[in-house]
Amino acid sequence: MYVRQDKLPALRQYKYSGVDHSLTSKYVLKPFYNNVVIKCFPMSMAPNMITLIGFSFIVANFLTLLWYNPTLDQDCPPWVYYSWAAGLFLYQTFDAVDGAQARRTHQSGPLGELFDHGVDALNTALGVLIFAGSQNMGQGWKTVATLFASLMTFYVQTWDEYHTKTLTLGIINGPVEGILILVGVYALTGFMGGAHFWQQGMLPTLGVPRLSFVPDVLYNLSFTEWYMFLGAFVLVYNTVESARNVIRARRAEGSRSRFALVGLLPFLGAWILIVAYLVLQPNILHNHLVPFALFTGILNAYSVGRIITAHLVHLDFPYANILILPLAFGVLDSLGPWLQRLGDHLGVGHALGWPSALGDGVYQVAFMFSMLGVAVGVYGSFVVDVIVTICDYLDIWCLTIKHPWVESRDAPPLARRGVEPSAQIKQGEKTD
């Protein structure tokens, strides 16, 4: 059990806190969502169902990617890229409207935040693979670097929310402007005839003259490489800002601020193992990166899900992640032959290493798929256990509305649902 019974009362004191500074969201998207889109959903539809339907568009995009571009380096028919743009925009729309639906149906609560963040965590890895396919990045280190940046952004944002108790989105942020930019990139990819367009040098393609002091390497960087350079800058900026937010929050409550930074170590430790495994197993990196990226995404989603759960019921920060164990075994097994080769080079024979049980062929591939299967099982059991526990305690259903809200003229707003006013502070759960 991930949530003990004595911690469940904290669910009734839950109150969502979020700040969205995005001007695009404030002046464009929210009016569109609140005045147009929300009217398309009946009052009988549960907010979490809207979230799940939105995620299905990303799953459809991913399945299309597997059919037309499983190696992430081939051009697709133009309509595929247009469908990715439409699917991602619909996902963003549904992901935002579920909050408005929760408020107007009076179904807001801690389960909504957990469900919403869990879906977003799974979408992160799928979204990276789809983006890699839209850029013909292939199965290699560029895709791995993009996956690292995206997963770290999501992890750091969740770590920030755990300590500050507030989800903060900047003037320009990933869930709003970032997704709209990707929608534009996908649509433009289809218009330009395929993902090969982004592999051209950006400055020469745009007709920017080359200055004498600009190196050829910099001048000939492709569109994709410029995206990655910009993404690295945004990643560093967001990480520093989140760290400052956490330090300020910890100092305000009189706690040691430096200790909170230890919460970043589980993510970094996992990625040391991920990079080591891919270095030691180039066959996985260059031929089976898509399933391994799914494993990595689920590993991160499991960590993020446990952080959100800890935030909801006031648990200690979760540092451990059991999914690291099979990954660590894979690294140790692959490290033996490498050390043996190093020993031969140094003239000490096989004293430095040990034979591999899996090798680097079909057994290693089977082990990698086994890791993916274990990750699906562990994360799936976590999701089911937490959702069932919360639903049982709060007497609600996850994907349907168990107790429809009925307005009563004689009862105050907070008492109309048969819940104590003190428990109703959880109704501010979602923002658009």
Phi, psi (deg, nearest 5) at residue 402 = -80, -40
Instruction: Please say if 117 is a catalytic residue.
Output: yes
Provide the b/e sequence for 357-393 (b: ≥16 CB within 10 Å).
Answer: ebbeeeebbebbeebbebbeebbeebbeebbebbeeb
**Catalytic-role residue among 106, 117, 163, 311:** 117
What residues are labeled active site? 117
